[in-house]
Amino acid sequence: MKTIRDVAKNAGVSPATVSRVLNNKGYVSEEKKKRIEKVIQEMGFEPNQVARGLAKKTSNTLALIVSDITNPFFPELAKGAEYIARSHGYSLLLGNTKGVDNESNDYIKILMNKYIDGVIIATHDIDSQLLEKHRETPMVILEMENEIENACTIKVDNIQGSVTATEHLISVGCKKIAHIYGPLYDQTAKERLKGYQEVIRAHDEYKELTVPGDFTIDGGISAVRELLDEHPDIDGLFAGNDLMAVGVIKELSRLKIRVPEDIAVCGFDGIYLTKVFSPEITTIEQPIYEMGELAAEKLIDRIKNPHLNSEHIELKTKLVIRQSSNRNKLSL
């Protein structure tokens, strides 16, 4: 490996001067600057990031902590974040918290010892005390309004999205609309439930029909069974997330209940699967890839300017109508 000394020697200057042009910092005469840049070019010199890291307490790497990269929501997020990170000269470290025996506690410690410059947290199973403890680390937190100081929070307007979903089912002619909500310790689940309730309560002719789910496909399957036991006559179903919507539709198809003719279904999230599934699934789309990009951008802002205040960003969702609720030809 070539070092900054080699460059200095070849250019007839000191390492300090080379460092100055590398970092574009401090004064260097135009002439030497040109010369040094030329030598760097010729030698194909690349500064050693580890040495630089040690000197600057920096690593030029970001971490993305997700609960489970296997959940289709996260790859898209990761892709957006990795893209931006790389464009700015950062690398992206990936961490899965799910199924980790050692507490995720260790996780952040590891990151600290590596001088990770900042972390994007996209999992709910993280101890907020822990986050509190690492308040000096630049962070952006996804889908979780948190009271962490100094952090940036990015989420979607779940209530609005869920209002839109419910109203959509009404507009499509559904008379008995049920909702499968996610685990209530999850803030998004709570908000989505709330949006559904708001709409239903605003309409006298509709009744609240809710049943709990766990945000998984299997959870969707059991929830819809439970629902049909009690209310075999529902004709609209708003699932708290897309994964459950998939489970719902699978189970309905097994039961020979037609979607959307007998029951119209709408999910939430806008994961890839909804586009791909058959029937294609109506959903409230979050800008997942963009959230990944935005998270990385905001994180990098915070790294460059550590004194930024807390910031809470709320993004818009978008109703995407697909086959699973497309009853246009049926509604009166």
Partner DNA sequence: CTGAAAGCGCTTACAG
Which of a copy of itself, DNA, none does 267 bind, CB closer than 5 to 8 A by kind?
none
Q: Of the listed pieces 23-31, 34-42, 109-117, 127-135, which binds a copy of itself according to CB under 8 A?
A: 109-117
Least Å distance between CB 45 and a copy of itself? 10
How many Cβ atoms are within 10 Å of 303's Cβ, its own excluded?
A: 18
CA angle (260, 265, 270) in 5-degree steps: 125
Q: Of the listed pieces 53-61, 86-94, 188-196, 289-297, which binds DNA according to CB under 7 A?
A: 53-61
d(CA 102, CA 38): 49
Which of DNA, a copy of itself, none does 233 bind, CB closer than 5 to 8 A by kind?
none
Q: Does 184 bind DNA (CB under 7 A)?
A: no
Q: Of the listed pieces 22-30, 232-240, 251-259, 324-332, which binds DNA according to CB under 7 A?
A: 22-30
Four-point Cα dihedral 164, 169, 172, 176, nearest 10: -150
Nearest to 128 by CA among 114, 143, 151, 147: 147
Q: Does 31 bind DNA (CB under 7 A)?
A: yes
Sheet arrangement for strand 318-320: 209-212, 177-181, 236-239, 264-269, 282-285, 318-320
In the chain the first and final C-alpha atoms are separated, in Å, by: 74
205 contacts 173 by C-beta, under 8 angstroms? no
Least Å distance between CB 211 and a copy of itself? 21
d(CA 327, CA 74): 31
Least Å distance between CB 24 and DNA? 10
Contacts with a copy of itself in 21-50 (CB under 8 A)? 46-50
Alpha-helical (H) ranges within 136-286 are 158-171, 187-202, 217-230, 242-254, 272-276
Least Å distance between CB 22 and DNA? 5
Q: Does 210 bind a copy of itself (CB under 8 A)?
A: no
Q: Facing residues of 211 across strands?
A: 180
Q: Which amino acid is at 118?
A: G
Cβ closest to a copy of itself, residue 45 vs residue 238:
45
Q: Does 26 bind DNA (CB under 7 A)?
A: yes
Q: Does 217 bind a copy of itself (CB under 8 A)?
A: yes
Which of DNA, a copy of itself, none does 74 bind, CB closer than 5 to 8 A by kind?
a copy of itself
Nearest to 242 by CA among 289, 192, 292: 192
Residue ranges in contact with a copy of itself by CB under 8 A:
46-51, 53-54, 59-61, 64, 68-70, 72, 74-76, 78-79, 82-83, 86, 91-96, 99-100, 109-110, 112-115, 217, 246, 249-250, 253, 272-273, 276-278
